[in-house]
């Protein structure tokens, strides 16, 4: 069982950003929610990518998606939206 999975409300917030950067390529879509949970697990624990629990999928696939989203500017877009909303204090970021 995956640990510390995000709530439906949290997923609803992140999903719109992920769908905005998704490039249609005819492949079966990844479970982006689980991938994002895996990325957050790495961020929380500071563990190396290779130590990502299998319940999140293959570490290399999760890392590859993380890189794609990084190159697409996903994280900056999320941070910008959070900053503008005032929902998260600047000190947390």
- Chain centroid to Cα 91, Å, comes to 21
Distance CA 56, CA 52 (A): 7
What pTM did the predictor assign? 0.75
pLDDT band at 88 (very low <50, low <70, confident <90, very high): low
pLDDT tens profile 33-62: 999 999 999 999 999 999 999 999 999 999
Distance CA 84, CA 19 (A): 20
């Amino acid at each position: 069982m995956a640990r510390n999975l995000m709530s439906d409300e949290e997923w609803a917030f992140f999903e719109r950003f992920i769908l905005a950067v998704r490039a249609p390529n005819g492949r079966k879509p990844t479970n982006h929610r689980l991938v994002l949970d895996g990325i957050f697990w790495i961020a929380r624990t500071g563990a190396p990518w290779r130590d990502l629990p299998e319940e999140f999928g293959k570490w290399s696939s999760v890392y590859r998606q993380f890189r794609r989203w990084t190159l697409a500017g996903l994280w900056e877009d999320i941070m910008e939206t959070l900053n503008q909303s005032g929902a998260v204090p600047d000190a947390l970021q």
